[in-house]
């Protein structure tokens, strides 16, 4: 693993452990994390067409493996789609890739971004942080896993409501204290 890859993956893992699992934002994440069934894939894409190809590759790799080996994939995209609106627009293309590979009903994509913003909210609204990650990230999830999770937790709407309350209670300062942002790099330092 090269040094850049290691900190992108390390930052994403830290976010998963401290925010997603630590705050119980996803009650299903802990088990697959503990069993080491999450694959962290670092995108090398320099453009959207390359990212589409990488997404297709990661989808193929996910479905060819048994869920006991690889339950889910986090495709970390640090070099493209830094603008949230561009990232959000790409989700339509991501769904087209799923359709083209005949994976509708097999795989779903959840999205996370450092500037994630739900429709109808202000950028600084703490509830947006449920989907804020250190880098743009596409979470490839098996539909069968979602079905099993819903059986175990029959009121998925309660998860969303609980997450909103958790973040309201935590506040911006509490989120900052989690230290789940990107590692400062020489490039990041010059950008600030």
Full-model pTM: 0.91
Torsion of CA 109, 84, 40, 174, to 10 degrees: -110
Give per-residue pLDDT as tens, 40-81.
999 999 999 999 999 999 999 999 999 999 999 999 999 999
Residue whose pair of structure tokens reads 């190809």 in the numeric block: 53
Q: Strand runs (DSSP E) across 77-185, as ranges?
A: 107-112, 137-142
Report phi then psi at 106, rounded to 5: -110, -45
Q: Note whether 135 and 114 are within 8 A (CB).
A: yes
Give the Cα-Cα-Cα angle 118, 95, 33 (nearest 5 degrees).
Answer: 70
Give per-residue pLDDT as tens, 13-48.
999 999 999 999 998 899 999 999 999 999 999 999
Q: Which pLDDT belongs to residue 32? A: 95
Pair type for strands 72-76 and 38-42: parallel
Q: Which pLDDT belongs to residue 186? A: 54
Percent of the chain with pLDDT over 70: 93
The packing angle between helices 48-64 and 84-100, to 10°, is 50
Chain centroid to CA 107: how far? 14
């Amino acid at each position: 693993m090269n040094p850049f890859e290691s900190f992108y993956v390390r930052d994403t893992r830290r976010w998963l452990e401290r925010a997603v699992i630590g705050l119980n934002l996803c009650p299903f994440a802990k088990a697959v994390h503990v069993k080491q069934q999450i694959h962290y894939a670092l995108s090398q894409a320099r453009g959207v067409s390359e990212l589409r190809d990488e997404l297709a590759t990661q989808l193929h790799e996910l479905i060819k493996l048994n869920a006991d080996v690889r339950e889910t994939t986090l495709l970390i995209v640090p070099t493209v789609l830094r603008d949230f609106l561009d990232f959000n627009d790409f989700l339509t293309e991501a769904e087209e890739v799923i359709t083209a590979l005949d994976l509708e009903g097999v795989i779903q994509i959840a999205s996370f971004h450092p500037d994630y913003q739900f429709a109808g909210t202000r950028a600084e609204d703490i509830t947006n942080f449920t989907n804020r990650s250190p880098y743009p990230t596409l979470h490839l999830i098996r539909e069968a896993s979602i079905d099993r999770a819903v059986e175990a937790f029959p009121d998925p709407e309660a998860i969303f409501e609980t997450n909103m309350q958790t973040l309201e209670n935590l506040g911006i300062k509490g989120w900052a204290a989690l230290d789940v942002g990107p590692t400062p790099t020489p490039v990041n330092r010059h950008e600030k």
